[in-house]
Amino acid sequence: MPERNRVTPLGDIVAIPLRGAWTGNRGRLHDGHDIVRFHSGTLWIVCGLEFRGRWQPQWQPHHYTFLFFRDEAVAFAAGHRPCAECRHASYTAYVDAWASAAGAARPSANAVNSRLHAERLYAGTHRRRLHEVAWREVPDGAFVLSETAPALVLGDALVPWTATGYGEASVRPHSGRALMITPPSTAAVLREGYPVQIDAAARTAAGGRAAS
């Protein structure tokens, strides 16, 4: 049986067999092999699966909980951002794009963490915030709530995320309003051209929709 350490685009931590291209954490969430809290602070990061040959067993007492994401787009939707240590180049690109979108100086890591935390959850709760925006404002690589399930926006396609992987794409609306899952600050980073990693299956599904 899979462990409960996979993360959905809505930020939920679930036990599904879907493998992750990235790891990361949001603090110490476990007791034994049980997830007992949703987060333990505002630092939510996305890390590489390998870094300088380091290796750590999972579920260590008094240690942060390893979480896994299917791709970087899922991690961003959940509210995480690149780790400044193991993914320094990606973190720099992320905060540079953040600054460019805001027309301001590069933000500190603490400022990024605080802003993202306010955008992903309602204050004082674990309740997920969604953001109503015009469809034309949703960038490629962002997730929206399509009916009742998360879907990735990619070109003219909406690609649903499921517990077993990306599904068959449908046509993305170009008018009206969307409920965006990805925090607005990260969506702005994507609009500035940050090269978010997206699973090949999603791109194949989106390409099939474009060709049909």
b/e for 50-64, b at 16 or more Cβ within 10 A? eeeeeeeeeeeeeeb
* CA nearest to 36, candidates 158, 170, 126, 102: 126
176 in helix, strand or coil? coil
Q: State the 10-residue block means of pLDDT for the chain, 212 residues long.
A: 95 95 97 96 96 88 96 98 97 98 97 98 92 97 95 97 95 96 98 98 86 48
Q: What is the pLDDT of residue 210?
A: 52
Q: What is the pLDDT of residue 212?
A: 47
Six-digit token pair at 177? 């309003």
Q: What is the pLDDT of residue 1?
A: 83
Q: pTM to 2 decimals?
A: 0.96
